[in-house]
Structure 1
Amino acid sequence: MPRSTAIRRLTGIALAATAVTGLTLTTAGTASAATHKNGNVESGEFGLYYNSNYAGCVFDLLNEDGNFADNRFISSTSSQTCPGQGQITNDNTASYWNRDVTAWDVYTDAGRKGIHGYVPLNYYGNASATYKNEISSSYPF
């Protein structure tokens, strides 16, 4: 194979590798754009709302939380208050929104105990009678 053909092929491979690396870094940067527990349900998060119909303050998660007893609902802005602000999240959730890329498991007791529920990705709704004001822990599936 002539030298110029080999150089062109190697250059093409190097450019393709650089493009793939850049795409990977760009994708990773986008996924980490969500801010955990800031009162705003962003893409990539699982959010629990104090009131039904996605109203009131929010508890938003990027990662599992095995015990909601030490968490509180917060407002998405420091200048505004919302129903439930400062209330403990444990056994206090009326609706939810799963904006994560995976399903989430919820439990009525801490540490994956109690009644188990499943929230599919991109699902939002009011908690059923079994889970309304009963959710105590959650884990990405």
Structure 2
Amino acid sequence: MNNSTTVRRLSRMALAVTAVAGIGLASAPSASALTKDGALEAYEFGLYYNSGQLGCVFDLANSDWNFSGDTFWKVSGTCNGIGQSTNDNTASYRNRDNETWWVYTDADGDGAEGTLPAGYAGDASSTFKNEISSAFPYDAH
């Protein structure tokens, strides 16, 4: 095998590897899709204004140390709680992430701690209903 044949084969192999890597990146969720945009998407954790995962949602893909200043909203249209503070104002949640999420009744991961496993959806208990002030995809303690 001469050098030009080897170079062509290596070039084709490099092109194939690059194409496969590009397909993998294209199918992964984009960072811009994982934001506090009012639409609970895969790999996000959502807190709802009303029980039963109803009303506006506050969606998280990353930790939020302090819900003060955060609000419930929706991409389009209206919903119960739109524009209301998320801090101490959550009645239910849904975890669409692959990881357990921790919620706390105070900012900075303080206060009572609760865990919500991957795939879980439910109403907040009396300890957490309208008391959640921070959330993390890891144990903050």
| CA distance in structure 2 between the partners assigned to 1:122 and 1:12 by the alignment | 42
| CA distance in structure 1 between the partners assigned to 2:43 and 2:53 by the alignment | 17
Letter in 2 for 1:25: L
Aligned to 2:38: 39
Q: What is the number of equivalent residue pairs in this alignment?
A: 137
Aligned to 1:21: 21
Scaled by the length of structure 1, the TM-score of the pair is 0.82
Give 1:136 shift: 0.5
Cα-to-partner distance string for 1:85-121 (whole Å, 9 max, x where unaligned): 2211111101111112322111111001011111111
1:112 aligns with 2:109: yes
**Structure with a larger share of its residues in strand:** 1
Match of 1:128 among 122, 125, 128: 125
| CA distance in structure 1 between the partners assigned to 2:34 and 2:47 by the alignment | 15
Scaled by the length of structure 2, the TM-score of the pair is 0.82
| CA distance in structure 2 between the partners assigned to 1:16 and 1:122 by the alignment | 36
Aligned to 1:140: 137
| CA distance in structure 2 between the partners assigned to 1:104 and 1:129 by the alignment | 18
| CA distance in structure 2 between the partners assigned to 1:36 and 1:12 by the alignment | 38
| CA distance in structure 2 between the partners assigned to 1:75 and 1:46 by the alignment | 15
Identical aligned pairs, as a percentage? 54
Give 1:10 shift: 3.1
Gaps of 5+ in 1: none
Structure 2 residue matching 1:23: 3-state secondary structure: helix
Letter in 2 for 1:97: R
Structure 2 residue matching 1:90: 3-state secondary structure: coil
Letter in 2 for 1:62: A
Gaps of 5+ in 2: none
| CA distance in structure 2 between the partners assigned to 1:71 and 1:106 by the alignment | 15
Aligned to 1:89: 86
| CA distance in structure 1 between the partners assigned to 2:15 and 2:78 by the alignment | 51
| CA distance in structure 2 between the partners assigned to 1:34 and 1:99 by the alignment | 14
Give 1:34 shift: 2.0
